[in-house]
């Protein structure tokens, strides 16, 4: 795993190596083992490398034998051995054992069609010196990040936004439109970012940049079957057998490494299942890692220990305390580069440090199972609401919703009337293509009431209306569950889960995450499953649970879904929070940054201080406002203690010889 960056400007034949080095300096944690730069006519590219495959070779930037193609690459092509054999049959010879060289030779032979052959997670750039053309691409579901700036004949790209800022070409400026989106969707729909003029290359797409031209094209897209129930003829047992074969092979491929591979154990069925399959494929010693909490409502330690004991893993864990959330919050935001409405990124940041401290570079995790096997409560919530909508005056049907959120005190006991009021929002709008997410988006929109009067002073299109215009033309042909899964996967998976809690938190400590459930073959299989193989009644991930019976402790297989959560108000608004956290939310700082209203923020913080019951919306408001304030301070005001000033890795420069 690595970090990459580059500048392409055909009008400037001599890109300076120092500019590329300065960009790489800010992300050297992504690749602390090696670094290198290539300089050609109008192009400069560099990488920092975390050595995992072919430790002795595989240095980047790498060229073909003729020196015409140059690659920098962040990721892993897990089926590179099979692809190398295919290329050998075509007459290609190899100088290294790295997947980097396989990728480069596949591009040389197939050009953009090579992307269809990869089973992996990647973001890469290839410079064609003969065509004077830059090719960049990103993996199917956006596991690895890739950002760019394209204006005035200059194209800048990098693994992280902070590199682009460091190029000296881009002036950081917050984008009110995308900030508006964050406080609606919890993330920014691709290709937007928090900063004006900077974009991400969307998952499953590639871009070709030449002199005076650029074009983005898609090579893969998420597609659910419009007639999933037609697969009902496949028995559950048939589906289990096919799924088991796919996930076993996915795990087998993701165990390919020249360094030790470990696993995360969250205590849920997803990470427990992947750990079980790892032990089946490679029965030897397996290191597993977990994080617990000192507050019982968030802690899953007993389940983690149960699975570790059952599977006989070498287990390590840490306990995250409320003060840990507050003391690490600002540094986590330096890595996320986007406001976050929850604090779950911080424990993942601490967990990756634990892995790093044990000398391990690679972990396998369970992300993706919830999205594609129907695990999230928002899916069941949509199905219950649709069921309730058929008898909107029913007193019994809405009570099913209490089963989904036992950890939300405001919906329990005597507060059942509040539950009905809360979940009845647009109850009968079942024809809406985004019916499943209407409540979430409406609730998070309330946070926008804290925006300052000047922030959105010009008329702007509503984020939801704009997003509706981007939906596929046949989207309404999908069933309710498939639409909900598509929305969650397209918006939340890459835009939050795989970035703010995945790549950014693991790579902050030089750890690569691998995700067996996000193998594209697994995804394509799951999108064709009938609904009752995913959710049966209110039993989520039914297929996975049936498959894992007897292979994991019953208390793990049969436990209800528990959302991964971390403390918010009790940590971020505590008097024990660091002085910086308290100061950045002070009236003076709120006014100085000009993003939020001082009076509404003061009122919100006052409620926290009074010890009153705090709703999830209010928790999200605190996290969102605080994280936006910090990002503005770090990137716009330049008050940044995390910015690197020294390159700690040797960074040799190769010059084009053609």
- Among candidate residues 338, 359, 373, 614, the one with its CA nearest the CA of residue 494: 338
d(CA 149, CA 496): 21
CA atoms within 13 A on the CB side of 227: 3
Q: Are strands 362-364 and 261-264 parallel, antiparallel or unpaired?
A: parallel
β partners of residue 73: 124
- Among candidate residues 403, 640, 495, 601, the one with its CA nearest the CA of residue 142: 495
DSSP per-residue codes, 138-149 = E-TT--S--EEE
d(CA 184, CA 463): 7
SS3 69: strand
d(CA 457, CA 199): 24
**Structure token digits, residue 167:** 């190029």
Show which residues are catalytic: 2
d(CA 21, CA 36): 9
d(CA 236, CA 242): 10
**Structure token digits, residue 496:** 């939050």
SS3 298: helix
**Structure token digits, residue 280:** 């089946």
CA atoms within 13 A on the CB side of 284: 5
Whether the CB-CB separation of 224 and 485 falls below 8 Å is answered with: yes
d(CA 144, CA 135): 16
β partners of residue 362: 261, 512
SS3 421: helix
Angle between helices 616-631 and 438-445 (to 10 degrees): 60
- Among candidate residues 88, 29, 98, 11, the one with its CA nearest the CA of residue 57: 98
């Amino acid at each position: 795993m690595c970090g990459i960056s580059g500048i392409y400007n055909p009008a400037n034949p001599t890109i300076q190596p120092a500019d590329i080095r300065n960009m790489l300096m800010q992300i050297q944690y992504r690749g602390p083992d090696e670094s290198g730069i290539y300089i050609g006519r109008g192009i400069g590219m560099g990488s920092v490398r975390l050595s995992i495959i072919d430790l002795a070779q595989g240095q980047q930037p790498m060229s073909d034998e003729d020196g015409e193609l140059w690659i920098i690459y962040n990721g892993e092509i897990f089926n590179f051995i099979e692809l190398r054999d295919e290329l050998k049959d075509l007459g290609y010879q190899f100088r290294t054992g790295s997947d980097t060289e396989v990728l480069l030779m596949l591009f040389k032979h197939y050009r953009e069609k090579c992307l269809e052959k990869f089973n992996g997670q990647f973001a890469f750039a290839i410079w064609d010196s003969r065509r004077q053309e830059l090719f960049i691409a990103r993996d199917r579901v956006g596991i690895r990040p890739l950002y760019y700036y394209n204006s005035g004949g200059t194209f800048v790209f990098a693994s992280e936004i902070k590199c682009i800022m460091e190029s000296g070409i881009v002036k950081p400026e917050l984008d009110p439109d995308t900030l508006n989106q964050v406080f609606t969707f919890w993330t920014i729909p691709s290709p937007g970012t928090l900063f004006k003029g900077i974009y991400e290359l969307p998952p499953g797409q590639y871009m070709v940049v030449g002199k005076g031209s650029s074009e983005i094209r898609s090579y893969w897209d998420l597609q659910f079957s419009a007639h999933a129930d037609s697969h009902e003829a496949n028995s559950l047992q048939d589906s289990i057998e096919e799924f088991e074969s796919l996930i076993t092979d996915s795990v087998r491929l993701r165990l390919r490494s020249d360094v030790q591979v470990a696993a995360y154990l969250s205590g849920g069925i997803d990470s427990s299942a992947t750990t079980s399959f790892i032990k089946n494929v490679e029965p030897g010693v397996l290191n597993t890692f977990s994080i617990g909490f000192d507050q019982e409502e968030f802690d899953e330690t007993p389940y983690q220990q149960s699975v570790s004991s059952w599977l006989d893993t070498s287990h390590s864990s840490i306990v995250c305390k409320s003060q840990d959330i507050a003391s690490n919050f600002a540094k986590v935001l330096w890595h996320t580069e986007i406001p976050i409405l929850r604090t779950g990124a911080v424990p993942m940041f601490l967990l990756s440090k634990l892995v790093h401290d044990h000398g391990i570079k690679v972990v396998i995790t369970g992300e993706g199972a919830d999205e594609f096997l129907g695990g999230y409560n928002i899916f069941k919530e949509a199905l219950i609401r649709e069921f309730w909508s058929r008898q909107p005056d029913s007193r019994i049907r809405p009570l099913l919703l209490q089963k989904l959120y036992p950890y939300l005190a405001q919906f329990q006991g005597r507060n059942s009337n509040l539950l009905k009021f809360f979940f009845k929002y647009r109850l009968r709008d079942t024809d809406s293509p985004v019916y499943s997410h209407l409540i979430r988006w409406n609730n998070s929109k309330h946070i926008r009431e804290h925006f300052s009067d000047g922030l959105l002073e010009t008329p702007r299109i509503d984020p939801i209306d704009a997003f509706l215009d981007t939906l596929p033309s046949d989207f309404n042909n999908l069933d309710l569950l498939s639409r909900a899964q598509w929305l969650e996967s397209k918006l939340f998976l890459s835009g939050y889960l795989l970035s703010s809690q995945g790549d950014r938190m693991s790579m902050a400590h030089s750890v690569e995450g691998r995700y067996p459930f996000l193998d594209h073959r697994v995804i394509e299989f799951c999108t064709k499953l009938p609904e009752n193989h995913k959710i049966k009644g209110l039993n989520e991930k039914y297929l996975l649970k049936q498959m894992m019976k007897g292979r994991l402790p019953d208390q793990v297989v049969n436990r209800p879904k528990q959302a991964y959560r971390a403390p918010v108000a009790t940590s971020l608004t505590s008097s024990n929070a660091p002085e910086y956290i308290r100061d950045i939310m002070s009236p003076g700082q709120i006014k100085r940054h000009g993003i939020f209203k001082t009076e509404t923020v003061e009122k919100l913080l006052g409620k926290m201080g009074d010890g009153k019951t705090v709703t999830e919306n209010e928790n999200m408001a605190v996290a969102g406002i605080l994280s936006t304030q910090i990002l503005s301070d770090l990137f716009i005001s330049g008050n940044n203690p995390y910015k690197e000033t020294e390159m700690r890795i040797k960074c040799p420069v190769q010059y084009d010889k053609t």
